[in-house]
């Protein structure tokens, strides 16, 4: 197999030979100062990095270089995304699964987990509970089970979710994280107006991938790895990738992840809309210590910083798998979207699961409520954002990417963040969060550079106070 980023065959665009050569090249050059200086210079110009260049920085142990990597990540994050952090909540619809993934408690041999699938009425109640928290953006999660959870069920659930308007609440964007599927099904998801289609690769190492997925359709490495190309063919132009760090050697997966981003860009002209950085977590039947490749907090932070340097335009997501401390560190280095008030059980927002049931996919490290997360972000100097404007304005795929790459998206993100934060403060916030939130809005409004945009944002914020909703740039 030859390496070809433009190929549509998994083993050519995620080519093992190329990854092995990259890792050897990185090892040889990890202290090569002239080369490293050149790579840092390229990163500083926000030109992104190739997988080879990023791999050299990953291996580099020179302290001053690692400090510079962090500084650059902070600068690039600020330039492309400003201070806004978008909030999202997972909604698990069903945990029936026919696959045998060894790291996930939903694997079909697990007899101790409680199997559940939400009815449309239960979804309605969950969505009302999520709206009452203040959420506007969801990520739907399901196991893979064509009998219990067919595509028709997912589509019906999306329709249900979008149809619910409770008080001032509305879910304005539904991202979908379901198993790799056919072009036809991706087309149906597009027609159902999903936001991003998200699918984690888990690991790019084919042999280990097959061992970690011993049974079920997910065993097929090529079908899974080529899913994003089918999604794009089906018309979904915002796709989100990620690996589950801890399953395999992180160096290999880091390079594979960047090669996947390069492949999407080479073939479709649009790189990944988001990259997620989950780490393996404890769950029913799963002990992270069984996975010898877990990574330290320092290495995790470095990976986040390097993804920011390598793919400056991509959104980065971190879930409530990570602790408050770990999230705090990576927020400044590159993460642009986080889960808040998340539940990883099937249902559980309206009422917590009874103690004798357990349908969770993993234990949540960060158990704070959405209001506590919003308050924390405000006090750290970020703008918590409930913005969903881009895809509703048709800014998806290459339209979105060109705005992002030219650095102009920040002109939309900033006022949209302030307006959606204002909605949150009016409708859902605790008095303490409201107080600091209002202060942040007043200060941040002054920083909007374009006078016209600033004036319109001020007017809209005043209208929101008067009861109107859903403004966007």
Residues of this chain that bind ligand SF4 (CB under 6 A): 84, 86, 97, 99, 101, 104, 106-107, 143-144, 179, 218, 385, 387-390, 409, 412-413, 416
Rounded least distance, CB 177 to ligand SF4, Å: 9
Distance from CA of residue 384 to its chain's centroid?
A: 16
Closer to ligand SF4 by Cβ: residue 36 or 88: 88
Please tell me whether residue 214 adopts helix, strand or coil conformation.
coil
Rounded least distance, CB 96 to ligand SF4, Å: 9
Closer to ligand SF4 by Cβ: residue 360 or 390: 390
46: left (phi over 0), alpha (psi -120 to 50) or beta: left
* CA–CA separation, 292 and 311 (whole Å): 28
Rounded least distance, CB 433 to ligand SF4, Å: 20
Rounded least distance, CB 48 to ligand SF4, Å: 18
* CA–CA separation, 264 and 271 (whole Å): 5
Closer to ligand SF4 by Cβ: residue 52 or 279: 279
Question: How many residues are given for the chain?
Answer: 473
CB contact at 8 A, 409 and 403:
yes
The contacts of residue 102 (CB under 8 Å, 6+ apart) are 211, 212, 213, 214
Using CA atoms, how far residue 204 sits from 54, 97, 469, in Å, is: 17, 22, 44
CB contact at 8 A, 197 and 186:
yes
Rounded least distance, CB 436 to ligand SF4, Å: 21
Closer to ligand SF4 by Cβ: residue 300 or 400: 400
* CA–CA separation, 424 and 420 (whole Å): 6
Rounded least distance, CB 148 to ligand SF4, Å: 12
Rounded least distance, CB 298 to ligand SF4, Å: 27
Closer to ligand SF4 by Cβ: residue 131 or 336: 336
Beta bridge partners of 202: 243
* CA–CA separation, 359 and 110 (whole Å): 11
Closer to ligand SF4 by Cβ: residue 123 or 360: 360
Closer to ligand SF4 by Cβ: residue 344 or 388: 388
Beta bridge partners of 142: 94
Closer to ligand SF4 by Cβ: residue 22 or 94: 94
* CA–CA separation, 252 and 399 (whole Å): 32
Closer to ligand SF4 by Cβ: residue 84 or 279: 84
> Is residue 174 packed enough to be buried (19+ CB in 10 Å), middle (13-18) or exposed (0-12)?
buried
Rounded least distance, CB 296 to ligand SF4, Å: 24
| C-beta neighbour count of 121 within 10 angstroms | 9
Rounded least distance, CB 104 to ligand SF4, Å: 3
**Torsion, Cα of 120, 124, 126, 127 (10° steps):** 130
């Amino acid at each position: 197999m030859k390496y070809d980023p433009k190929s549509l065959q998994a083993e050519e665009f995620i080519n093992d030979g190329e990854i092995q050569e990259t890792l050897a090249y990185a090892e040889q050059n990890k202290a090569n100062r002239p080369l490293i200086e050149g790579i840092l210079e390229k990163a500083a110009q926000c030109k992104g990095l190739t997988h080879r260049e990023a791999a050299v920085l990953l291996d580099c142990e020179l302290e001053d270089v690692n400090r510079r990597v962090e500084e650059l990540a902070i600068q690039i994050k600020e330039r492309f995304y400003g201070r806004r952090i978008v909030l999202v909540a997972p909604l698990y619809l069903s945990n029936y699964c026919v696959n045998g993934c060894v790291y996930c408690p939903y694997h079909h041999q697990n007899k101790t987990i409680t199997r559940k699938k939400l009815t449309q009425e239960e979804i309605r109640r969950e969505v009302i509970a999520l709206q009452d928290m203040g959420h506007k953006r969801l990520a739907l999660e399901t196991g893979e089970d064509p009998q219990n959870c067919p595509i028709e069920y997912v589509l019906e659930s999306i329709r249900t979710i979008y149809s619910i308007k409770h008080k001032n609440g509305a879910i304005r964007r539904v991202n979908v994280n379901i198993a790799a599927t056919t072009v036809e099904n991706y087309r149906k998801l597009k027609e159902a107006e999903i936001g991003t289609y998200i699918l984690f690769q888990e690991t790019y190492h084919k042999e280990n991938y097959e061992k970690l997925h011993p049974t079920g359709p997910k065993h097929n490495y090529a079908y899974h790895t080529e899913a994003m190309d089918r999604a794009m063919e089906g018309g979904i132009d915002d796709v989100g990738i990620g690996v589950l760090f801890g399953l395999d050697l992180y160096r290999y997966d880091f390079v594979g992840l960047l090669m996947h981003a390069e492949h999407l860009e080479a073939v479709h002209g649009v790189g990944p809309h988001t990259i997620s950085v989950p780490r393996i977590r404890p769950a029913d039947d799963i002990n992270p210590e069984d996975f010898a490749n877990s990574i330290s907090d320092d290495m995790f932070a470095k990976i986040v910083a390097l993804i920011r340097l390598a793919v400056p335009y991509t959104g980065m997501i971190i879930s409530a798998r990570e602790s408050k401390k770990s999230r705090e560190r990576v927020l400044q280095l590159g993460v642009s979207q986080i889960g808040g008030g998340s539940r990883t059980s099937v249902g559980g927002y309206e009422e917590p699961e009874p103690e004798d049931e357990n349908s969770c996919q993993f234990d949540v490290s960060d158990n704070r409520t959405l209001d506590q997360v919003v308050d924390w972000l405000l006090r750290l100097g970020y703008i918590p954002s409930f913005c969903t404007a881009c895809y509703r304005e048709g800014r998806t795929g290459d339209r979105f990417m060109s705005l992002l790459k030219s650095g102009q998206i920040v002109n939309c993100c900033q006022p949209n963040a302030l307006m959606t934060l204002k909605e949150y403060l009016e409708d859902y916030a605790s008095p303490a969060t409201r107080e600091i939130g209002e202060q942040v809005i007043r200060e941040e409004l002054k920083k909007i550079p374009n006078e016209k945009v600033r004036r319109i944002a001020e007017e809209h914020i005043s209208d929101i106070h008067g009861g109107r909703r859903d403004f966007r740039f």
